[in-house]
């Protein structure tokens, strides 16, 4: 038998979620090796998302089975009021499994998704939403320009060439510094980046006074939740490597995929090295040159990849 009245009956209003949910997917299984700096990277990601985004949002973090130290940090952030929604998974569901939960369960009308190694610049959210709300039938907006595969742009370019209000330009609209910064963060060699830059072009689309670069990517995007729902669920049997399903299927469905013309996010990968001041001591620079020697890098990276697959690619 019930004893007393539930106090919740006397609460006359409840909190409403913000229109935008910023959703970060996190996976840090341990804090050594490849992941040695990842807790610092995660902290930087979450802190930068909150610094001058340009629009209000709720922050959602989905943790995909990280180690206890990382989950303890996230719980402390949630208790401090820095994370509005924290979802902790006991095991790694892979990116597809996590997306199925995040993209269907996030409360916002707009979802701004990012991997846990994204660095956000001031104004990133407001500028991205501006593209989302200006262009028609937008599927996803990535908050940084870079070169994407042409096969994922077919509908975006077909729409642009057929629409009388759209100005289409092909050229080098991504400056060398912006191009190099992103390609280097992916581990590409400088000489290869230079060769690619010389031959690569992109498309700039201007519609009703607003410009965008054709293309987008799954690692960071802003989209309407109702659009993303059309592509759920994702069926991915590996933790990584199949995420381009979203890029492919969104293009096939006839949605625009756009990027900002100026960088408002950056990929940090697994280190903060690119965001720190240069070392003043000469000794670290000598050591750095050794580890950056291409033959040694190839051997060590292949060894790391083999060990990672042995333990985690099951």
Cβ 117 vs Cβ 41: under 8 Å: yes
pLDDT band at 235 (very low <50, low <70, confident <90, very high): confident
Measure the CA–CA gap between 3 and 302, rounded to whole angstroms: 65
Mean pLDDT of all residues in 226-235: 92
233-237 long-range contacts, Cβ below 8 Å, gap at least 24?
233/96, 233/100, 234/96, 234/97, 234/99, 234/100, 235/96, 236/94, 236/95, 236/96, 236/97, 237/94
pLDDT of 300: 67
Tokens standing for 181?
Answer: 């910064």
Cβ 128 vs Cβ 109: under 8 Å: no
* Residue among 65, 87, 85, 99 nearest 18 (CA): 85
Measure the CA–CA gap between 274 and 13, rounded to whole angstroms: 46
pLDDT of 15: 81
**Mean pLDDT, the chain, whole residue set:** 88
pLDDT of 273: 80
* Residue among 263, 220, 27, 247 nearest 114 (CA): 220
DSSP string, the chain: ---S--GGGG--------SEEEEEEE----SSGGGTTHHHHHHHHHHHHHSS-SS--EEEEEE-S--HHHHHHHHHHHHTTS-SEEEE-SS--HHHHHHHHHHHH--SSEEEEEETTEEE-TTHHHHHHHHHHHSSSEEEEESS-----GGG-HHHHHHHHH-TTEEEEEE--S-HHHHHHHHHHTT--HHHHHHHHHH--EEEEEETTEEEEE--BTTEEEEEHHHHGGGPPP--SSSSS-TTHHHHHHHHTT-EEEE-SS--EEE-TT-SGGGSPPP--HHHHHHHHHHT-HHHHHHHHHHHHHHHHHHH--
Mean pLDDT of all residues in 262-269: 95
- Model pLDDT for residues 66-80, shown as the tens digit of each residue: 999 999 999 999 999
pLDDT of 81: 97
* Residue among 129, 152, 144, 206 nearest 175 (CA): 144
- Among 108-112, 129-133, 137-141, 246-250, the least confident range: 246-250
166 has a pLDDT exceeding 80: yes
Cβ 110 vs Cβ 226: under 8 Å: no
* Residue among 227, 221, 179 nearest 199 (CA): 179
Q: Which phi and psi (to 5°) does residue 172 adopt?
A: -95, 80
pLDDT of 11: 66
pLDDT of 306: 63
157 has a pLDDT exceeding 80: yes
Measure the CA–CA gap between 303 and 192, rounded to whole angstroms: 22
Mean pLDDT of all residues in 100-125: 97
- Model pLDDT for residues 184-221, shown as the tens digit of each residue: 988 899 999 999 999 999 999 999 999 999 999 999 99
Only one residue has tokens 């807790």, namely 39
Dihedral sign computed on CA atoms, order 100, 117, 38, 194: positive
């Amino acid at each position: 038998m019930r004893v007393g009245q539930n106090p919740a009956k006397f609460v006359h209003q409840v909190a409403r979620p913000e229109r935008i949910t910023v959703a970060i997917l996190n996976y840090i299984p341990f804090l050594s090796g490849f992941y040695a700096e990842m807790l610092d990277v995660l902290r930087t990601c979450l802190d930068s998302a909150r610094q001058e985004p340009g629009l209000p949002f709720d922050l959602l973090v989905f943790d995909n089975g990280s180690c206890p130290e990382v989950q303890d940090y996230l719980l402390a952030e949630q208790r401090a009021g820095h994370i509005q929604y924290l979802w902790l998974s006991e095991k790694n569901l892979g990116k597809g499994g996590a997306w199925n939960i995040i993209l269907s369960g996030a409360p916002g009308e707009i979802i701004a998704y990012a991997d846990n190694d994204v660095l956000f610049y001031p104004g990133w959210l407001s500028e991205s939403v501006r593209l989302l709300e200006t262009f028609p039938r937008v599927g996803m907006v990535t908050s940084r320009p870079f070169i994407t595969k042409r096969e994922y742009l077919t509908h975006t370019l077909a729409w642009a060439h057929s629409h009388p209000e759209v100005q289409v330009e092909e050229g080098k609209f991504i400056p060398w510094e912006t191009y190099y910064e992103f390609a280097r963060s992916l581990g590409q060699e400088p000489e290869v980046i230079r060769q690619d830059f010389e031959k690569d072009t992109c498309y700039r689309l201007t519609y009703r006074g607003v410009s965008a670069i054709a293309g987008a990517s799954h690692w960071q995007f802003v989209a309407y939740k109702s659009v993303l729902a059309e592509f759920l669920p994702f069926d991915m049997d590996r933790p990584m490597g199949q995420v381009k399903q979203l890029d492919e299927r969104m293009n096939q469905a006839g949605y625009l995929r756009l990027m900002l013309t100026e960088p408002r996010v950056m990929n940090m990968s697994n280190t903060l090295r690119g965001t720190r001041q240069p070392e003043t001591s000469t000794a670290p620079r000598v050591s750095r040159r050794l580890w950056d020697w291409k033959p040694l890098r190839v051997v060590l990276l292949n060894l790391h990849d083999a060990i990672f697959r042995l333990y985690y690619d099951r």
